[in-house]
Structure 1
Amino acid sequence: MASKLCLQLCLLLAFITPHLTSARHLHNRKPSPFLFPKHLIGSSKNDSIVEGIHKVKAYLQRYGYLSNENEKKLSTDAFDDDLESAIKSYQKFSNLKVSGVLDRETLQQMSRPRCGVRDTYVSVGQQEHENKNTNIEIGGSHYTFYYNHVTWPAERRHLSYGFIHDFPPQHVDTVRRAFQTWEDNTKFSFFLSPRVQTADILVSFERGEHGDHEPFDGEGGILAHSLGAVDGRVHFDADDRWEGDPMERYDLETLALHEIGHALGLGHSSSSLAIMWAYMYKGFPKTRLTIDDIEGIRALYGS
């Protein structure tokens, strides 16, 4: 009788244990980040008014797809022609199905961690239009220029850089490698400034509002940004995870390459393979420039 009872208990434990393990795994697993209410999935202009759509408008305005001229209009939940057009522009630039509909793929893309520099830009000889993403493809390339189209003058090709605000020493060599990669592929050379006060490019970790009117947002969301050529400031969000398991942290060298590209005058690329692609995926570092990145910098400064 006792052996029969023992056998029954063993069978019961064999059945329960996997389910307990699975439940514990699901409990400990971090939820997939999703910035927008899930009821927005499938929303379109035909829906007229959709609760929470103003959050999508704020995102598209933040990254240059919607004009900020009418702030009252941006604060409403009306799904109008302007929003549909902005979504289509965003989908095209992000290599998504261009429909003007807020499908799951579009909202997931909007939820991914990214660079804080907006996606609009100007090409040579063009005026900037904040409500129009004037994408240009040259010879099959997908690069763009930084939205203010400022470049370093011809006499400044030997640029200094410095680390400020108690930059973590363990990350210095990583950023130096990123500068070296750009030097190997451009007419620029870079050196560590002996006096940080005079450095052309200043690199730092920052939190929240940090004096450039482009506040960071804590973990996830905006990972870094640069204020473009000549200004030269490059900022990483200190609240994001930059150390530890490669599958759980953001790769600093990838972000440094990206932000230095902005500091040289490049905008975002519509190629997901390029260093200048706006989004970052954990566990997928990029440590080399692509043809698209190199063609972009050569379009700015010559071969």
Structure 2
Amino acid sequence: MSIFHTVAHYAFFPGKPRWPESKTELTYAFLPENQLSKNVKSLFGRAFERWSEVTPLTFTETTSYSRADLKIGFFSGDHGDGEPFDGVLGTLAHAFSPPAGRFHLDGDENWVIDGNFLNGSPVSAVDLESVAVHEIGHLLRLGHSSVENAIMYPTISSGTRKVELANDDVIGIQELYGSNPNYNGSEPSFIKYSK
């Protein structure tokens, strides 16, 4: 089992940092040195959309990494933020609450980007979109949840795809930012793949 970073149900970071109420449009950019594929960038767009579906927040990709509200990058080992990565499995990623907006992923992980664990993926393969949705919750100020099916649960096993927000995630994020009037309240599920 890998560690994302527990508390009864949803939780917030100490001091409850958040994006200002007037800031509902957030921009994100990728570290230029990473040179990510179109598929990976689309995956992150879907992950941000999960949070937009339930809040009034919108997320737009920009090419200006230095000016983006949210800065996403893949790093290995000690990368200068006091939170070094530890190689395959272990700590997969970390994100810093508002207003820092930094989102770092371990570049040494065996990331799966198509959600398919059955076609020759290593046993240690981790679903990138699942981790992205979780870490975006941290970027928005959510802490960890004790509800196992919640996106904000602190761990995820390799071979697991969990990208839909649970009721606990929705209640927590809506307490912070309010509701998207178009949200229909459907209950999510997650899938464990066996090899």
Number of residue pairs aligned between Structure 1 and Structure 2: 170
Q: Is contact 1:167–1:205 with CA below 8 Å preserved after alignment?
A: no
Are 1:264 and 2:153 an aligned pair?
Answer: no
**Partners in 1 of 2:15 and 2:128 — Cα distance?**
25
SS in 2 for 1:173: helix
Are 1:153 and 2:7 an aligned pair?
Answer: no
Are 1:287 and 2:163 an aligned pair?
Answer: yes
Q: Is contact 2:54–2:174 with CA below 8 Å preserved after alignment?
A: no
Of 2, 7, 11, the residue aligned with 1:144 is 11
Partner of 1:240: 109
Q: Is contact 2:55–2:178 with CA below 8 Å preserved after alignment?
A: no
**Deviation of the 1:224 alpha carbon:** 0.5
For each residue in 1:272-295, what CA deviation from the matched residue of structure 2 results, as whole angstroms up to 9, or x when unmatched?
100000101122211211110000
Structure 1: unaligned runs, 5 residues or longer? 1-111, 120-134
**Deviation of the 1:196 alpha carbon:** 2.1
| Deviant stretches of 4+, over 3 Å | none
SS in 2 for 1:229: coil
SS in 2 for 1:151: coil
Are 1:199 and 2:88 an aligned pair?
Answer: no
SS in 1 for 2:71: strand
Equivalences for residues 173-188 of structure 1 within 5 A:
173-188=42-57
Structure number having the greater strand percentage: 2
Are 1:113 and 2:2 an aligned pair?
Answer: yes
Taking structure 2 as the reference length, the TM-score comes to 0.82
For each residue in 1:4-44, what CA deviation from the matched residue of structure 2 results, as whole angstroms up to 9, or x when unmatched?
xxxxxxxxxxxxxxxxxxxxxxxxxxxxxxxxxxxxxxxxx
Partner of 1:162: 29
For each residue in 1:33-65, what CA deviation from the matched residue of structure 2 results, as whole angstroms up to 9, or x when unmatched?
xxxxxxxxxxxxxxxxxxxxxxxxxxxxxxxxx
**Deviation of the 1:148 alpha carbon:** 4.5
Partner of 1:85: none
**Deviation of the 1:301 alpha carbon:** 2.2
**Partners in 2 of 1:289 and 1:184 — Cα distance?**
10
**Partners in 1 of 2:111 and 2:174 — Cα distance?**
31
**Deviation of the 1:181 alpha carbon:** 1.2
Structure number having the greater helix percentage: 1
Structure 2: unaligned runs, 5 residues or longer? 180-195
CA gap 1:211/1:180 in 2 versus in 1, 3 angstroms: same
SS in 2 for 1:197: coil
CA gap 1:143/1:167 in 2 versus in 1, 3 angstroms: farther
**Partners in 1 of 2:134 and 2:35 — Cα distance?**
18
Of 200, 203, 214, the residue aligned with 2:83 is 214
Q: Is contact 1:246–1:282 with CA below 8 Å preserved after alignment?
A: no
Equivalences for residues 1-303 of structure 1 within 5 A:
112-116=1-5, 119=6, 135=7, 137=8, 142-164=9-31, 165-169=33-37, 170-243=39-112, 246=117, 248=123, 249-303=125-179
Taking structure 1 as the reference length, the TM-score comes to 0.53
**Deviation of the 1:205 alpha carbon:** 0.6
Larger Rg: 1
**Partners in 2 of 1:233 and 1:167 — Cα distance?**
18
